């Protein structure tokens, strides 16, 4: 595969930015791509980048943090509890989008307290038909938010900023749109519930990727996660 030029990446970013709604921001998914691509995207104005492997994120952060201190890193992939400790020292200025279980949430809290940080998080909602997708059911989200409200000391160290979801990998746009809409309805329900400890922070709805982000934007996404449409197929 021919390497992309800075002009290639800049043009692709501009095309996507033009399609964003006023409340939406782009997470440029740089996983499996070299740090040089992150640098090119940064020079084109991009600031939020998504990674899905802990070691790759740590390596890029260490390489780029001095020259590009305002990069905002979002961890968007499956996260093992034993890897949280590697993210905790710096991810407080960024976000973990893929909180898929209470066990993982409690470990993030523990590691955040260990380093004296508050880590922004999103709870991942499982709405897709594929069993391989991870996350909480809507009822599990409701129960968890209630527990956090009732026992806040158990969950010190995190700040709940919203929800994340992936739609089914199907051609049926109506099905995809309905899945996104169901997440938006849950998001709005939680915002109005009176259960959120910091409702002013609960503003993010991360949904939509390269193949379906336009549908996600129509359903109120505030963060879209796009990789291949910017950086091409994985390196």
The whole-number pLDDT of residue 52 equals 95
- CA dist., res. 160 & res. 123, Å (int): 8
- Enumerate domains of the chain plus CATH numbers: 6-231 (3.20.20.10)
β-bridge partners, 136: 125
**Which stretches of the chain drop beneath a pLDDT of 70?**
1, 132, 235
- Please check whether residue 127 is in contact with residue 165, taking contact to mean a CB–CB distance below 8 angstroms: yes
The whole-number pLDDT of residue 18 equals 95
Q: What is the pTM of this model?
A: 0.95
């Amino acid at each position: 595969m021919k390497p992309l030029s800075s002009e290639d990446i800049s043009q692709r970013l501009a095309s996507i930015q033009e399609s964003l709604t006023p409340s939406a921001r782009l997470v440029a998914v740089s996983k499996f791509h070299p740090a040089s691509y992150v640098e090119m995207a940064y020079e084109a104005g991009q600031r939020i980048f998504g990674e899905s492997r802990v070691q790759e994120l740590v390596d890029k952060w260490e390489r780029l943090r001095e020259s590009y201190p305002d990069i905002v890193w979002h961890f968007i992939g499956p996260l093992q509890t034993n890897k949280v400790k590697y993210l905790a020292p710096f991810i407080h200025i960024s976000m973990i989008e893929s909180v898929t279980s209470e066990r993982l949430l409690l470990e993030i809290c523990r590691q955040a307290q260990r380093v004296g940080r508050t880590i922004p998080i999103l709870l991942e909602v499982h709405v897709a038909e594929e069993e391989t997708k991870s996350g909480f059911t809507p009822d599990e989200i409701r129960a968890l938010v209630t527990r956090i409200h009732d026992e806040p000391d158990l969950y010190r160290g995190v700040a709940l900023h919203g929800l994340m979801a992936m739609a089914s990998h199907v051609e049926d746009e109506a099905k995809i749109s309905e899945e996104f809409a169901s997440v938006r309805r849950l998001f709005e329900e939680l915002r109005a519930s009176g259960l959120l400890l910091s409702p002013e922070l609960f503003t993010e709805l991360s949904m939509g990727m390269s193949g379906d982000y336009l549908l996600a934007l129509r359903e109120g996404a505030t963060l879209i996660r796009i990789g291949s449409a910017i950086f091409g197929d994985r390196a």
